[in-house]
């Protein structure tokens, strides 16, 4: 499968057309995908009642299974978003693990994964998964923004920008930032405007990694901010 015209190669498209197991780029692309979804999967499982250690062990086991069995080859970007496919695969794997663990336990073996039937606390496991996914995307975008600032010798400006874009009630005023950076209030306004634009660009760049066309990015952006704002 070749990338659509005008749409740059992404992690997802790299994986899709790296079908041959001998392709040296295949494993690297798969590893990048797994790193991107580690935290959301663990958050989903913890919301189901698993401990942090259980969640980490389970996600590690699932991702090893996902890579070993080449489950990505069964995914079709035209039939849904990759994150939904990955979560369904994780749920199916956990179900199989519980059946196996239950059979072994009856024979005196290991305990099954401690999953509750109903999620604990507010929100569903899917809410936890989606919120963690959105936070992961945003943090990766912020890392790209930081690299962008540092590449231009503006590391201190990045720290000032982050302190203001954090959205916290105690964020510094424009006047405080101007004093800290040794510039005018107007310059601070221009800096923050440019930083917000760049951050949005980096968010879109990160999201492009797991969709197939440019048209698929906007719905992901909408979901991201919806999940971030959900309590």
Same domain, 51 and 105: yes
Same domain, 105 and 188: no
C-alpha to C-alpha distance for 178 and 87, rounded to whole angstroms: 45
Same domain, 51 and 82: yes
Boundary residue ending a domain (66, 89, 121): 121
Domain count, the chain: 2
Same domain, 129 and 218: yes
Residue with tokens 């991107």: 36
Same domain, 99 and 160: no
Same domain, 112 and 179: no
Model confidence, pTM: 0.64
Each residue's pLDDT, cut to its tens digit, for the chain (231 residues) gives: 333 333 344 556 655 655 556 666 777 777 777 777 888 998 898 888 878 888 888 888 888 787 777 777 776 665 557 788 888 888 888 888 876 654 444 444 434 333 333 334 467 888 888 888 888 888 889 899 999 999 988 888 888 888 777 666 677 888 888 888 888 988 888 888 888 889 989 999 888 877 777 888 888 888 888 888 765
Whether residue 105 lies inside any domain: the answer is yes
Instruction: Give residue 160's domain range.
Output: 122-231
CA angle (102 as vertex; 100, 104 as ends), nearest 5: 70
CA angle (224 as vertex; 219, 229 as ends), nearest 5: 130
| 193: CB partners within 8 A, 6+ apart | none
* pLDDT score for 16: 61
- Long-range contacts (CB closer than 8 Å, 24 or more residues apart) made by 186-192: 191/157, 191/160, 191/161, 192/161, 192/164, 192/165
Boundary residue ending a domain (121, 138, 155): 121
Per the CB < 8 A criterion, the answer to whether 211 and 190 are in contact is no
Boundary residue ending a domain (121, 153, 188): 121
* pLDDT score for 114: 37
The 3-state DSSP class for residue 146 equals helix
Same domain, 160 and 201: yes
C-alpha to C-alpha distance for 10 and 14, rounded to whole angstroms: 6
Q: What is the DSSP string of 7-72?
A: ----HHHHHHT--STT-HHHHHHHHHHHHHHHHHHHHHHHHTT--HHHHHHHHHHHHHHHHHTTGG
* pLDDT score for 53: 82
């Amino acid at each position: 499968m070749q990338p659509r015209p005008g749409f740059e190669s992404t992690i997802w498209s790299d994986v899709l057309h790296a079908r041959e197991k001998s392709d040296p780029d295949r494993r690297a692309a798969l590893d990048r995908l797994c790193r991107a979804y580690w935290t959301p999967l663990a958050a989903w499982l913890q919301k189901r009642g698993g401990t942090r250690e259980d969640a980490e062990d389970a996600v590690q086991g699932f991702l090893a299974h996902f890579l070993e069995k080449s489950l990505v080859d069964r995914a079709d970007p035209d039939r849904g978003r990759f994150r939904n496919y990955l979560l369904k695969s994780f749920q199916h794997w956990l179900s199989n693990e519980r059946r196996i663990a239950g059979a072994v336990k009856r024979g005196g073996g290991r305990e099954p994964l401690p999953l509750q039937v109903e999620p604990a606390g507010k929100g569903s496991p899917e809410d936890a998964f989606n919120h963690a996914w959105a936070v992961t995307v945003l943090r990766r975008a912020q890392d790209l923004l930081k690299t962008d600032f540092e590449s231009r010798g503006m590391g201190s400006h990045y720290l000032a920008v982050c302190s203001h874009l954090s959205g916290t009630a105690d964020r510094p005023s424009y006047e405080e930032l101007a004093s800290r950076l040794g510039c005018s209030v107007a310059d601070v306004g221009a800096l923050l405007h440019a930083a917000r634009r760049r951050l949005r660009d980096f968010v879109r760049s990160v999201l492009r990694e797991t969709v197939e066309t440019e048209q698929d990015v906007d719905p992901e952006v909408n979901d991201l901010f919806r999940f971030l704002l959900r309590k």
